[in-house]
Chain A
Amino acid sequence: AQSVTQLGSHVSVSEGALVLLRCNYSSSVPPYLFWYVQYPNQGLQLLLKYTSAATLVKGINGFEAEFKKSETSFHLTKPSAHMSDAAEYFCAVSEANAGKSTFGDGTTLTVKP
């Protein structure tokens, strides 16, 4: 069965600092992995997705994530945080026999000036 664990429900960084949001997954088959972002009063929107073509995936707004099979991880990073990055971020896993994605509990990112 597929599952996702996001380590840290809240992460706070200073503007210009590195952003690192952690996601570990469990899957019985090679998974597809997604990161979504939710800004206040909006629905979730796709940041990036891993579909086995490349282990380093680049997304919108300067975010990227690296798939590490040996660590069952798909951590999200951004070299330099901007105030506009403040939002909630969700990691999700999908596998062929599951029929749907499973979402993590989310991580709220705060960016301090």
Chain B
Amino acid sequence: DAGVIQSPRHEVTEMGQEVTLRCKPISGHDYLFWYRQTMMRGLELLIYFNNNVPIDDSGMPEDRFSAKMPNASFSTLKIQPSEPRDSAVYFCASQAAGYNQPQHFGDGTRLSIL
């Protein structure tokens, strides 16, 4: 079975540009999570969805960040405008229903804002 698929794997762009990260969760999974990982701050939960509905976006750092899940098989995380401090690895994870289920992570998008 295919795992969680993220694209692009790497993104380098200039400050001020719009960045869109994409995620395809595992089919049948009800939950989708977006994380950010940096050396300084570690792994941070940004937002998560249940059945395509955003449940908790308290980790979204600023209004420049937005996330959508238009259907069960696709989600985007958008940064507009981007800033150098947004440079990080962004992970998407999905999970089947049930709090005893593990999260399945994608390989991440390494984002560099120049």
Contact = CB atoms under 8 A, between A and B. Distances in A.
Interface residues of A, number: 23
A46 interface: yes
Interface in B23-46: 31, 33, 42-43, 45
B99 A44 contact: no
- Interface footprint category on B: 20 to 34
Given A43-B4, A44-B91, A100 B105 contact: no
Nearest to B91: A43
A95 interface: yes
Contacts of B104: 46
Interface stretch (B13-21, B48-56, B68-76): B48-56
A25 interface: no
B102 A43 contact: no
B108 A43 contact: yes
A44 B50 contact: no
Interface string A32-45: 10101000011111
A32 B99 contact: yes
Nearest to A90: B43
B100 A44 contact: no
A41 B56 CA distance: 27
Contacts of A42: 107-108
B101 to A, nearest CB: 8
Contacts of A45: 105
Interface of B: 4, 31, 33, 42-43, 45, 48, 50, 55-56, 91, 93, 99-100, 102-108
